Each structure stands twice: as C-alpha cells, then as structure tokens.
Amino acid sequence: MSEGNTTAAETRKPIASPVEVTPPAGFVAQALHDPFEALMGPLFERVEPDGSRVSAFVADERHLHADGYVHEGMMMTFADAFLGGAAWRGSGDKPCVTMSLQASFLADVARGATIECRTKVEKKTRSVMFVSASFTVAGEQVMTATSLWKVLGER
C-alpha cells in the first residue's frame, strides 16, 4: 500500500532527488517525503487560477523502457504519487492508502516530454475516495487512470 501525504510528513525534511531538472514553465518542485518518489523525481506542481492543481515530471533516461519510451511503471508511480495527494486533500487532510489503481495507456511518451496530470475526485464516502486522472503531453492525452483510496482510521 502506498501512503498519501500525511500530516506527519509535513513536518519531516523533504528528500532530494538524484538529478536536477529545470521546472517546466509555471511549475515548482514538490517537496517529496517518500524515498521512491524522490528517487524517480523531481516531481513538479502548479496551482491554476481556479485553485486546481496540475502535477508534472520531465521524462529522462531513468524513466525509459528498452524501446526508448516511458515505462508504464513510471507512469503509474507518478499516478500513485499525485492521485494520492488528491485523495488526501479531498478527504480533509486524512492519510489515504491505495486500494486499487487502473491505468489505460493511450500513447507512447518520448524522452524529454513533460507529462502533466490533472485529477478529479469522483466520489467520496467516509472511508473511500474515488479519484480519476488524465495525463497529457503537449495537450495530447497519453494515459487515463481511475483509483480507489482507503481513508485511514475510517470505516
């Protein structure tokens, strides 16, 4: 199970990523507290004028398959990180863990591409968050995801 951001994490020191990447225009680097996300990062974030959030990463050598395109494992890691954040915010800052995540791969993603993610909370109950997301490269949709999150401490 993966952990969304927890309130405890807020007080911990962020973990640095192994490479420096210039943030895409309008984005800032996210503070990462999960060692595996830091390893694959940096991950970036932008808050839109309407308050919605967009996350992004820039595909480099570390994210690729032998065929030269971004690995589905990296795309799903990115999804887990940002959809988890959406579940956490949507549940009123309660920690959430992944129960299920489904991804459809619509197009190959090339090295150097900036992959953006936008999320939507489809439904929330006391103990479960339903979060969907769309992933785009230069406006073209490359992946969609749906996910279920358990709100910890609720039943």
Q: What does the binding site for another protein look like in residue numbers (CB under 8 A)?
A: 1-3, 5-6, 8-9, 12, 33-37, 39-40, 61-67, 70-74, 76-81, 84, 97-105
- According to DSSP, the residues that pair with 119 across neighbouring strands are 133
Counting beta carbons within 10 angstroms of the beta carbon of residue 131, is it exposed (0 to 12), middle (13 to 18) or buried (19 or more)?
Answer: buried
**Could you give the CA distance from residue 116 to residue 123 in angstroms, rounded to a whole number?**
22
CB of 25 to another protein, least distance (A): 26
- DSSP letter assigned to residue 3: B
Smaller CB distance to another protein: residue 8 or 26?
A: 8
Smaller CB distance to another protein: residue 84 or 90?
A: 84
CB of 28 to another protein, least distance (A): 20
CB of 99 to another protein, least distance (A): 6
Residue type, 88: W
**Could you give the CA distance from residue 53 to residue 68 in angstroms, rounded to a whole number?**
29
CB of 51 to another protein, least distance (A): 25
Smaller CB distance to another protein: residue 105 or 130?
A: 105
CB of 118 to another protein, least distance (A): 18
Smaller CB distance to another protein: residue 19 or 26?
A: 19
* Of 48, 13, 10, the residue nearest 27 (C-alpha): 48
Whether residue 151 contacts residue 126, with contact meaning beta carbons closer than 8 Å, is answered with yes
Smaller CB distance to another protein: residue 54 or 63?
A: 63
